[in-house]
């Protein structure tokens, strides 16, 4: 039984089914779709409140998505802890600056990798808030609810992602 | 009883943490916190991410609508538009490929020790969310509402019975996964 929890990986079908059940429990117990990108708005607002509280309190977006420690905020620290427990139990935890496929194509210079990751993170944060959700909020939980907007958004995530990845690795990297 | 739980702020903070921990655990076990797995999906060489997401939707869709049928959950599906969902989705996609993680899996990757996810991804996401907060008043009434979709849910769009749509979607998603396995992708 315990080997199951220390296995390096599970079948994606088993892990995915688990996420589907978890999503149902989030609707049931918290009346919320299990999403991740709202937490970054809240965290950004809380950092802003330390630097310039008047300015943050005047901004319309932070009146709609209140910068406070609550359910949507706690998801992100939770994910960090959960993934740490999972990787630690299976002996897979290890510190690294440059992931494998990236390094093989573009070299192992951490500065270049961090710069591109930072640019990607900015676009990801901007796009997620622009579209009103991310891969879990729209992609999984919106699709579960048969939301037209969520299904279209999820398709656009992958259209933009596949086109950019192919350009990056097959055109620039080639 | 569930309504009381939903309004209990302290309990919800604790539940948020628990849901996050379970989600992070499952994402890591499913392989989705690994840069190589996500980038492999975007390069169409590794279909782990789609298998994981479709399995979640296949199980969640039935569970959610059964619970809703008996009044235990309510729908949060909202109106969408080309200006919000298509533009935002494509910008997200470009960032998704450059970073190699999404907002949930970037946090999971941090938990597994990926420092590019911490110092590049998480910092970038905070900046990107901040930029959107700045421009929100400018885009809110114009771009975000441009080209509204004609319906909120798929059954409304197709004018079909909810359970017929669910059965069709389930058959389509399971069929897609069977094809992936058949071609050993």
pLDDT in tens, A42-96: 999 999 999 999 999 999 999 999 999 999 999 999 999 999 999 999 999 999 9
Long-range (24+ apart) CB contacts under 8 A made by B44-49 are B44/A162, B47/B180, B47/B185, B48/A12, B49/A12
Q: Are A147 and B19 in contact (CB < 8 Å)?
A: no
Give the whole-angstrom CA distance, residue A99 versus residue A106. Answer: 11
- By the CB < 8 Å criterion, does A106 face chain B? no
pTM: 0.96
Q: Check residue A3 and give its pLDDT.
A: 76
| Predicted confidence (pLDDT) at residue A118 exceeds the cutoff of 80 | yes
| Predicted confidence (pLDDT) at residue A8 exceeds the cutoff of 90 | no
Residue of chain A with shortest Cα separation from B158: A148
CA-derived radius of gyration, chain B = 19
The residues with which B153 forms a beta bridge, in sequence order, are A147
Instruction: Tell me what ipTM this predicted complex has.
Output: 0.96
- By the CB < 8 Å criterion, does A49 face chain B? no
- By the CB < 8 Å criterion, does A107 face chain B? no
Give the whole-angstrom CA distance, residue B125 versus residue B27. Answer: 19
CA distance B62 to chain A (A): 8
pLDDT tens digits for B84-117? 999 999 999 999 999 999 999 999 999 999 999 9
Q: Is A58 exposed, middle or buried (0-12, 13-18, 19+ CB in 10 A)?
A: exposed
Size of chain B, expressed as the number of residues it contains: 185
CB atoms within 10 A of CB B20: 29
Give the whole-angstrom CA distance, residue A137 versus residue A84. Answer: 22
Give me chain A's average pLDDT, please.
96
Query: Which chain A residues have a beta carbon less than 8 Å from that of B96?
Result: 120, 124, 135, 157, 160-161, 164
Q: Check residue A1 and give its pLDDT.
A: 60
Average pLDDT over residues B45-55: 97
Dig out the tokens for A48 from the structure: 């802003």
């Amino acid at each position: 039984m315990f080997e199951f929890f220390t296995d390096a990986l599970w079948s994606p079908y088993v892990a995915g089914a688990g996420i589907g059940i978890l999503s149902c429990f989030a609707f049931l117990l918290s009346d919320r779709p299990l999403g991740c990108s709202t937490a970054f708005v809240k965290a950004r607002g809380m950092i802003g409140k330390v630097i310039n509280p008047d300015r943050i309190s005047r901004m319309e977006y932070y009146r709609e998505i209140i910068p406070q420690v609550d359910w949507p905020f706690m998801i992100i620290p939770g994910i960090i802890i959960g993934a740490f427990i999972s990787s630690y139990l299976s002996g897979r935890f290890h510190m690294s600056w440059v992931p494998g496929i990236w390094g093989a194509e573009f070299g192992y210079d951490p500065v270049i990798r961090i710069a591109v990751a930072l640019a990607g993170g900015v676009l990801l944060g901007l796009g997620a808030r622009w579209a009103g959700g991310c891969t879990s909020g729209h992609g999984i939980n919106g699709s579960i609810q048969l939301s037209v907007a969520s299904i279209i958004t999820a398709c656009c995530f992958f259209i933009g992602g596949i086109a950019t990845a192919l350009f990056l690795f097959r055109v620039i990297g080639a | 009883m569930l309504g009381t739980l939903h309004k209990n702020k302290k309990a919800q903070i604790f539940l948020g943490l628990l849901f996050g921990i379970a989600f992070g655990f499952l994402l890591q076990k499913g392989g989705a916190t690994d840069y190589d797995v996500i980038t492999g999906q975007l390069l169409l060489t590794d279909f782990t991410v789609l298998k994981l997401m479709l399995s979640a939707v296949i199980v969640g869709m039935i569970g959610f609508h059964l619970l809703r049928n008996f009044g235990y959950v309510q729908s949060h599906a909202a109106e969408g538009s080309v200006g919000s969902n298509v533009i935002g989705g494509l910008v997200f996609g470009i960032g998704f490929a450059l970073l190699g993680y999404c907002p949930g899996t970037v946090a999971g990757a941090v938990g597994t020790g990926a420092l590019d996810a911490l110092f590049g991804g998480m910092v970038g996401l905070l900046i990107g969310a901040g930029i959107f907060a700045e421009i929100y008043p400018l885009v809110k009434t114009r771009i975000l509402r441009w080209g509204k979709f004609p319906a909120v849910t798929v059954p409304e769009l197709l004018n079909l019975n909810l359970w017929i749509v669910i059965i069709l979607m389930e058959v389509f998603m399971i069929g897609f996964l069977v094809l992936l396995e058949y071609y050993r992708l």
